[in-house]
Amino acid sequence: SAVISQKPSRDICQRGTSLTIQCQVDSQVTMMFWYRQQPGQSLTLIATANQGSEATYESGFVIDKFPISRPNLTFSTLTVSNMSPEDSSIYLCSVLDRVGVTDTQYFGPGTRLTVL
């Protein structure tokens, strides 16, 4: 199974600033994902990041607000731009790993963001 690390694990930020979250995987993976999980809510997919192409954003999420980089097969970053208190959430990086003929999803530990 893939082992995923994220930096930072948590941060407290001021309104209007930006934060870049890093995701590192211990193996090469094609598909990486960024999720948001607000308190008491389910995981919400922000975007899919494939190496060598533009990220694909889900409804309600835009590149200007959540720019993503995917420079290689083991690393990705998500930036939360011009933050507001509504952006306070846990942000999770995830990858798909094929086990046999089935894709299984693995998650990083998450980044807990608080915006004041």
Partner 1 sequence: SQKIEQNSEALNIQEGKTATLTCNYTNYSPAYLQWYRQDPGRGPVFLLLIRENEKEKRKERLKVTFDTTLKQSLFHITASQPADSATYLCALDSFLGGSYIPTFGRGTSLIVHP
42 binds partner 1 (CB under 8 A): yes
CB distance 88 to 80 below 8 Å: no
Compare residues 15 and 103 and give the one whose CB is closer to partner 1.
103
Exposed/middle/buried for residue 92 (C-beta within 10 Å: 0-12, 13-18, 19+): buried
Q: Rounded to the nearest whole angstrom, what is the least distance from the CB of residue 19 to partner 1 in the complex?
A: 18
13 binds partner 1 (CB under 8 A): no
Omega of the bond prior to 109 within 30 degrees of 0, cis? no
**What SS3 state is found at 73?**
coil
CB distance 108 to 7 below 8 Å: no
Binding-residue pattern over the window 50 to 79 for partner 1, x denoting contact by CB under 8 A: x-----x-----------------------
Q: Which residues bind partner 1 (CB under 8 A)?
A: 1, 4, 31, 33, 40-43, 45, 48, 50, 56, 90, 92, 94, 96, 102-110, 112
